[in-house]
Structure 1
């Protein structure tokens, strides 16, 4: 039935006082059913003859989480096969290869042919242990990513979780993702060289998310002429390296480390538009700018600064002298920072009892006193995970005395034990109120539980959010 005929039928029904919902325009009806689970969206065809075409005539939106568990194995392949396409979004959090290969042979090619725009494939890994590090370059047939997925001319957003990439990826001349803007790789097995090749075949890539684990490339080298945002969640249990080699448009580098005792070398070689950076951890990150390795005694020079960074986030134990010295060195590398986030880190079990821990605060903070960004540029400072330790209060006092351009200081308490104690919270408030700021401001206390990692990463990937570290 032609669109004009369908519209006339709907108007007649509306005039007769029946089926008012069907009188809505097709595009609005389709927009509505995309919010329904796919089983209910398909069932709308039974409402009336004028609804029969709606689900099949618009791009498919499929989420396997919307399908009841007993029916999932059979229904996912059936939906993919019966919908004529194109596919707007296919989200398979439980991508069952056995049932897909059995019920719908060639399903990866189908996703390409139906011009899928958004694709998430998460391999069910609850019963599959990760392969040992010695097999990192050996394909795991049980979860080997089908090569056709990487030959899509329509994909704009691709997320892969718990897959093994073919060991000859970089030798495949037909791998190409010309429209891909967002790429997220989590718990994948891929070599250093193949990861570089994969990024290289995405010429318009804007956002890259890497969930690095034991089986990932150890030396990640980032080259991209289009990339604007890189998110790195490092969950490896061994030391690694992340290098920004050549990223002329990169604006945001967001780092989140899960194993705090593991060292990660972070090297920034070429990122002329880098504006947002963090969290750099004074305990575990080994920062290198160009050819210069940043050490506790490193002073600012043309070879050791990134002048474009305006928003910086650092993690530091404010009671450990070595970490405060490294904090000062990190800060010297970013002389034009206007918004500074400090995550107050607790002691690691590995910190020895002989380490100075808050006994000589004045001497500690002399290391920071000559840092340009603190003295002359920083307008906003946020101290996260504040616990009310004496060394934290001494740092606040130091900031009050030395940050000449400061316009806002926010102290965030997130620890649930502290938040549950009104006396402890009031004690922190009272001590902060005693701190005098020459600029006329006062420290503001926020009581806010720490956000989940997924929420933090979502904010970090959204370039419309000016400051991804903001509470």
Structure 2
């Protein structure tokens, strides 16, 4: 029988294919998994500040009065229009009239390489796109408002890469997104990156980070947002880069797989987000302006690590999550928080108002840890809980644990006004927690229970809803609005870095829109 024809590789190069086969790995599986991670990374990148689907057309539907109004537009407005167009369309505006002819060269340009390949998605490596990028960077005098280069496999194009970075540094790029198409995945990023002092936003993906230990006399005085996605870094390099960025507000890390130790010291950081990473330590040493610490999608379960999250000086920390008992060890001001410990004032984070947990209610250690965690956050007003899947419950689970052993928790009794419970499966362990919580929550005003997709539990949607509706409310401590809905499958509205760092959204953790009156 003839073998089934396999699709060509999207990511794997011949050298990687040969190495994978030598190690007994199907290169097609490697290619598929790589594309999955790349898709996650692309979804985390900042949006392009242009709309490429629009077409430049002339409206001939109404009679002309012979007046050339488009040429009468102020030159500043013309440049602003051009700076909001894809590079190809910006160049084409030269045919609109004399005053437009040089506008694209004097306007801050947006260069997105996927626009040069006719918007093909997902991006594919193309020598013609590399050549087009080189031409645009050489022809335009700058500045560049925004540059997204995400198409090309740069392992064999180090000469072009260095030339691009030199031109971007000379011509004042403000926002730069630079992604290498794998494989290989450890292509070194030239230190020329450190010469681009005009950056306000920088995202790099699938690179080996340049050695930052030797940075002297270099700074990024305008950089406000930094994203590192699937980037190989050495210990201390991120800290050095952050120290050289005096106005940096947002730090996003995705896909680090090295067990990195991260020590945060910054007078400007307001939001730190770390997702899908294996981190050995995340230490918030001294961050007087930090408002949000968001940890999600820990990869530690696959490698046996437990990330140590150490909170030192963070007097403005207001939003914290997702805290997972089995994947994170919490340390507050040099004290490791363990199950059953009675926190002292020095072990409490009193500024946190919004807290999110991922809990496996079928694991004894998880539920024993949860009351202790809650006691460390006495002023939490909004609590979000996601019920994690547990195929094999462990320990001698006591369905009355919350009533018999948990004891009173200040935040539950006197502070929490909003509670959401995502991925509810209708398990007895979950119902036991909810019953006890509702019996203690003296000021609760609004609760949401989002049911898991029935495919992932033994109960139907109707059975899960009935299990909640049949709970006894005779002992509930307050009257509150209880909403039942179907889970989105994510357990939260938070699925991109942009959402987490949107300071206008007070609670990006919420799985539903919470009425403002609550």
Pick the TM interval, shorter chain: 0.7 to 0.9
Answer yes or no: is the 8 Å Cα contact 1:77–1:104 preserved in 2.
Answer: no
Q: Which residue of 2 aligns with 1:186?
A: 229
| 1:106 partner SS | helix
Distance 1:234 1:269, change over 3 A: farther
Output the CA distance in 2 between the equivalents of 1:105 and 1:269: 40
Distance 1:179 1:98, change over 3 A: same
Q: Does 1:439 align with 2:483?
A: no
Answer yes or no: is the 8 Å Cα contact 2:360–2:389 preserved in 1.
Answer: yes
Q: Does 1:50 align with 2:99?
A: yes
Deviation of the 1:428 alpha carbon: 2.5
| 2:236 partner SS | helix
Question: TM-score when scaled to structure 2?
Answer: 0.77
Q: Which residue of 1 aligns with 2:89?
A: 40
| 2:411 partner SS | helix
Per-residue CA deviations over 1:80-117 (Å, capped at 9, x if unaligned) read 11111111101111355478655686321221121111
Which of the residues 296, 309, 312 maps onto 1:256? 296
Output the CA distance in 2 between the equivalents of 1:401 and 1:63: 55
Q: What is the root-mean-square deviation of aligned Cα atoms in Å?
A: 2.7
Residue correspondences, number = 434
Distance 1:456 1:120, change over 3 A: closer
Distance 1:348 1:92, change over 3 A: farther
Spell out the pairing of 1:175-214 with structure 2 (5 A cutoff).
175-214=218-257
Which deviates further from its counterpart, 395-404 or 276-285? 395-404
Distance 1:25 1:447, change over 3 A: farther
Distance 1:129 1:109, change over 3 A: closer
Q: Which residue of 1 aligns with 2:373?
A: 330
| 2:341 partner SS | coil
| 2:248 partner SS | coil
Deviation of the 1:329 alpha carbon: 0.8
Answer yes or no: is the 8 Å Cα contact 2:440–2:477 preserved in 1.
Answer: no
Output the CA distance in 2 between the equivalents of 1:456 and 1:23: 42
Distance 1:438 1:193, change over 3 A: closer
Q: Which residue of 1 aligns with 2:261?
A: 219
Which of the residues 181, 205, 208 maps onto 1:164? 208
Answer yes or no: is the 8 Å Cα contact 1:418–1:424 preserved in 2.
Answer: no
Q: Which residue of 2 aligns with 1:81?
A: 138
Per-residue CA deviations over 1:273-317 (Å, capped at 9, x if unaligned) read 111000010111111001110000111202211111000001111
Question: TM-score when scaled to structure 1?
Answer: 0.85
Which deviates further from its counterpart, 36-45 or 183-192? 36-45
Which deviates further from its counterpart, 283-292 or 87-96? 87-96
Which of the residues 182, 185, 188 maps onto 1:144? 188
Output the CA distance in 1 between the equivalents of 2:297 and 2:438: 30
**Unmatched tracts of structure 1, length 5 or more:** 1-13, 131-142
Per-residue CA deviations over 1:216-265 (Å, capped at 9, x if unaligned) read x62111110111110011422xx611111110110100001332513111
Answer yes or no: is the 8 Å Cα contact 1:222–1:246 preserved in 2.
Answer: yes
Distance 1:415 1:18, change over 3 A: farther
Q: Which residue of 1 aligns with 2:327?
A: 284
Spell out the pairing of 1:385-400 with structure 2 (5 A cutoff).
385-400=423-438
| 2:504 partner SS | coil
Answer yes or no: is the 8 Å Cα contact 2:177–2:203 preserved in 1.
Answer: yes
Q: Does 1:229 align with 2:267?
A: no
Deviation of the 1:166 alpha carbon: 3.1
